[in-house]
Structures are given as C-alpha cells and as structure tokens.
Amino acid sequence: MKRHEALIPLSHHHHHALVMALEMKKAGTEKSEKNYKQLIRGMILFWKEDGQAHFRDEEEILLPVYLQYAEQPNEGLVKQKLYQHAQIRSLIRHVRESPKTSYDKINELGELLDEHVRLEERELFPLIEEAVPDKYLYEAKGGFQRDSFSGN
C-alpha cells in the first residue's frame, strides 16, 4: 500500500506492532517461538521505546491536523481509534502489573493490536492523506518520534 511520505514513520511503527501482535497471538501455543518471559520483555520494551510515543504522536499531532482540515471528518473512526488506544493501554498495564498474566490476555492484546493497526492503515490513514494538505502532513511528520527499530 502506497503511503504518504510524511506518514511513513508511523507506518514503520505499525509494522513492528504487527510483528509483536503476531507473537502475542501465538503465545502459549506450539507455534510460539518465544517463552513467556521473552514475550513480556519484548512487549514492554516495544511499548516503552515506541508504543507510548506513537500513541501520543497520533493523538496530539496527527488527529488534530486531520480534524482541522477534513471537511467531514469520520468521527466514528476517530472515536474507535481512541477507544482502542485506551483498551491497548489497559491491557498493557494489566500484563505489566500481573506477574503471571494468562496467555488469554496476551492473545487478546495481540488480536486488538493487529485489528488497531489495520484500522489505521486501511481506513484512517487514507482519509488523512486525502484531507490534509501535503505541507501540513510534512509539518506533522517533524513532530513524530523516531522509530527506535529502523531509525526513521
């Protein structure tokens, strides 16, 4: 999927989030390549290094720009995105604070993360690319946190 250059840093985060989501969805099954501790450590590191800042970038920079320039913003999609952010934060908090959380919670987090990324990439980002003038997308990009995995 062709993505506006200004949104590529967020799409890089999304790629890494999908990798994490896949690992979490396989957790506790024979398909899992990581043990419980490796999985939790990886999830916490990803959240600390990229996830938290990524959510802030979207909530504090990208969505306000979209709402400013969209003639008829898709409010339902924006609300769904923000609700999913809250759900993801809640599950991550649960996993971090519960020393031996169930694989069901980890699988649930993986499913939600996967669904969330696909919602943004397939539905919301195309609306943003259409509504926001290039100049303001590039200005928004200047405020995004760099991806710790790729450096973009």
Q: What is the pTM of this model?
A: 0.91
Give the confidence band of 32 by pLDDT, cuts at 50, 70, 90. confident
How high is the pLDDT of residue 112? 97
**Structural domain spans, the chain:** 7-142
Query: What φ, ψ does residue 72 adopt, rounded to 5°?
Result: -135, 80
Least trusted range by pLDDT, from 23-37, 55-69, 105-119, 120-134? 23-37
How many other CB atoms are there within 10 angstroms of residue 50's CB atom?
A: 21
**Residues 74-120 pLDDT 10s:** 999 999 999 999 999 999 999 888 877 788 999 999 999 999 999 99
How high is the pLDDT of residue 150? 52
Q: Which residue has 């919602």 as its token pair?
A: 119
CATH class of 7-142: mainly alpha
